[in-house]
Amino acid sequence: MRLRTRTWADEREVSFREFARQRAAPLHRSAYLLCGDWHLAEDLVQETLAKAYAQWHRVRNADSPQAYVRRILLNEARERWRRHEAPVPRTDAATDQPVPDWSDDIVRRAQLFDALLRLPARQRATIVLRYFDGLTERETATALGCGEGTVKSQTSRALAALRKYLDRQEAKA
Amino acid sequence: MNSNSESVLAAELQDLAGVQPFAPDLDAITRRGRALRRRRIVLAGAGGSVAAVGVAAIVAVAALAAGPSGPAGVAAGTPSASVLRAQLMAALSKAKATAKLTVMSTFADKSGASSTSEIVTVPSQKWQELTSWDSAGIKTEVDFATELAGTGRYKGYTEQRTLTLDYPARTFSIERVYSPARDVIVPWVSDNQPESLKNTPWSKVVGTATLHGQPVYILVQTGSGGYSATVWVNKATLLPVKDVVHTFAGTTTDDYTWSSAAGADATAGANTPAIPYGFTRSDDGCQAVPVPKSRNIGVYC
């Protein structure tokens, strides 16, 4: 093996790879909640990171590289939904009758996931950003490219749709 | 919904996503990223969401952009923003398939650091060249990509061959990617709709001017979040002459030169960069790889 001086291109490569290693798993989990399929989520993250690499100088110099990449992920997910790869609700889980034993939680969680996947794309993204990624309303608005008022209204509608699953859990608690 | 329900939801989502192991394929990502970087050309430099600035800023941008002749204001007969955008998209679609395009693009981030690249694309000749300079004006990299018909065991496949010259390291590498699907790897097919021209909440033709000796319309688009884009559109050809896009990351300025793709200087062979004296090869040479069935496989040789 030949040693060589680290170059501008190497620095770019190293910094990107470090970023990708750190952020890939969290992005993967967010993507899963957005699309409902681990394999599709993997594709989404791969494409998202490729796009980040293509414009790495911008991403790296952004105020928040993580926010920048999260936005790429959302755009990528939106593009796919628009084309044809809409998330498929797990209707089997939704129609299954819950059984009153230890599996009750699993069934209820599956129903919640199903309900989440049935939400309109923007409401679903809002929920994932606010309650999974833990963003503030302002950060969510920036990520989605909309106003804070829109985030509030989208959140409200989404939570209303999910309410029955959450109420059940809350009552149990 | 109260905060308790919100807490429950947050916990449920964490449980749903769990801790799924995931190791990204970084080699595939960077390979795809390099291809995307070449594809970003045509107006993708103007990409990013376009967003809101005040009217005063818009006027200032328009005035700055107008050049020596200054903005002429919106005269009778000036198309609306939506009409101009539709015309621009149609002209772009046609030109991208045939014309030679040179884009000089400079990105300056908020710290003042900048980088410049020139991208030359000749779709009809199936090649694209990207040259990058750092903020000190030192050439850092040249990529030359072309598309060929596969031969031998790759007969019937499409080959994208990329020569990369790394100037700081004084090395070069050649990447070959074979694919049964043409549209997967062709680098010069830009996005169907440039991001700077996507529908935005607010867009307007703010006037006309003369830029680089060409009569132009000035199209300004804004949205939320503090972003803005201005595109100067040639009145006669309805192709972009220049654009400036402000995003939270910085400002991108692109200058476009459209010309005929005909002639010897437009051919791939004539434009393949010679490997400079003293450059050594940095890749490992040919490797035996299977013929791809359904996705790209990179071969270095």
Q: Is residue B43 part of a domain?
A: no
Number of domains chain B contains: 1
**Token duo for residue B210:** 């003369």
Which CATH number do you get for residue B216? 2.50.20
| pLDDT-wise least confident of A88-92, B4-8, B65-69 | B65-69
Q: What is the signed CA dihedral for B228, A31, B110, B169, rounded to 10 degrees? A: -120
Give the pLDDT band (50/70/90) at residue A139.
confident
Higher-scoring residue by pLDDT: B220, A109: B220
Q: What is the mean pLDDT of chain B?
A: 73
What is the average per-residue pLDDT within B187-193? 39
Min Cα distance B223 → chain A (Å) is: 8
Q: What is the signed CA dihedral for B179, B182, B185, B187, rounded to 10 degrees? A: 150
Domain A90-173 of CATH type 1.10.10.10: yes
Higher-scoring residue by pLDDT: A82, B59: A82
Other C-beta atoms closer than 10 Å to the C-beta of A136 total 12
Contact predicate B176/B298, CB 8 Å = yes
Q: Does A57 touch chain B (CB under 8 A)?
A: yes
Q: Does B166 touch chain A (CB under 8 A)?
A: yes
For residue B253, the cross-strand partners are: B106, B244
Chain B environment of A20 (Cβ under 8 Å): 24, 26, 29
CA A111 to CA B16: how far, in whole Å? 11
Predicted local distance difference test score (pLDDT) of residue B6: 81
Give the pLDDT band (50/70/90) at residue B209.
very high
The dihedral through the CA atoms of A116, A118, A121, A123 has a sign that is negative
Least CB–CB distance from A54: residue in B17, B33, B248: B33
Q: Is residue B38 part of a domain?
A: no
Give the pLDDT band (50/70/90) at residue A100.
very low
Which amino acid, residue B292? Answer: P
Regarding an ipTM greater than 0.85, the answer is no
Q: Does B114 touch chain A (CB under 8 A)?
A: no
Min Cα distance B294 → chain A (Å) is: 15
Higher-scoring residue by pLDDT: A11, B77: B77
Higher-scoring residue by pLDDT: B145, A101: B145
**pLDDT value at B191 more than 50:** no
Predicted local distance difference test score (pLDDT) of residue B46: 33
Contact predicate B225/A145, CB 8 Å = yes
Predicted local distance difference test score (pLDDT) of residue B148: 84
| pLDDT-wise least confident of A47-61, B34-48, B160-174 | B34-48
**pLDDT value at B210 more than 90:** yes
Domain span at residue B219 reads 48-300
Other C-beta atoms closer than 10 Å to the C-beta of B186 total 19
Min Cα distance B17 → chain A (Å) is: 5
Beta strands B114-122 and B240-247 are unpaired
CA B5 to CA B11: how far, in whole Å? 10
Domain A9-88 of CATH type 3.30.420.10: no
Predicted local distance difference test score (pLDDT) of residue B283: 67
Predicted local distance difference test score (pLDDT) of residue B57: 30
**pLDDT value at A36 more than 70:** yes
Q: What is the pLDDT of residues B107-152, one digit of tens each?
A: 776 666 677 888 888 877 888 888 888 778 888 888 888 888 888 8
Q: Is residue B122 part of a domain?
A: yes
Higher-scoring residue by pLDDT: A31, B61: A31
Of A149, A141, A140, A125, nearest to A74 by C-alpha is A125
Q: What percent of chain B is modeled with pLDDT above 70?
A: 68
A9-88 and A90-173 in the same fold: no
Chain B environment of A68 (Cβ under 8 Å): 249
Least CB–CB distance from B113: residue in A61, A160, A173: A61
Give the pLDDT band (50/70/90) at residue B176.
confident
Min Cα distance B22 → chain A (Å) is: 6
Beta strands in B158-287 (DSSP E): 158-166, 171-179, 202-211, 214-222, 228-234, 240-247, 250-259, 280-281
Q: What is the pLDDT of residues B68-95, one digit of tens each?
A: 344 455 566 788 888 998 898 888 878 8
Q: Is residue B1 part of a domain?
A: no
Q: Which residues contact A166 (CB under 8 A, 6 or more apart)?
A: A112, A159, B1, B5, B8, B9, B12
Residue pointed to by tokens 């699993």: A106
Give the pLDDT band (50/70/90) at residue A2.
very low
CA B175 to CA B94: how far, in whole Å? 30
**pLDDT value at A105 more than 50:** yes
Q: Is residue B102 part of a domain?
A: yes
**pLDDT value at A70 more than 80:** yes
Q: Say what the pTM is.
A: 0.54
Rg from Cα positions in chain A = 19
Q: Does A103 touch chain B (CB under 8 A)?
A: no
Which amino acid, residue B7? Answer: S
DSSP B18: T
Region of B265 on the Ramachandran plot (φ > 0 left; ψ -120 to 50 alpha; else beta): alpha
Q: Is residue B76 part of a domain?
A: yes
User: What is the residue extent of each domain of chain A?
Assistant: 9-88, 90-173
**Token duo for residue A38:** 């681990």
Q: What is the pLDDT of residues B249-282, one digit of tens each?
A: 567 788 889 988 888 888 888 888 999 999 988 7
CA B222 to CA B226: how far, in whole Å? 8
Predicted local distance difference test score (pLDDT) of residue B64: 35
Under an 8 A CB cutoff, do B140 and A8 touch?
A: yes
Q: Does A68 touch chain B (CB under 8 A)?
A: yes
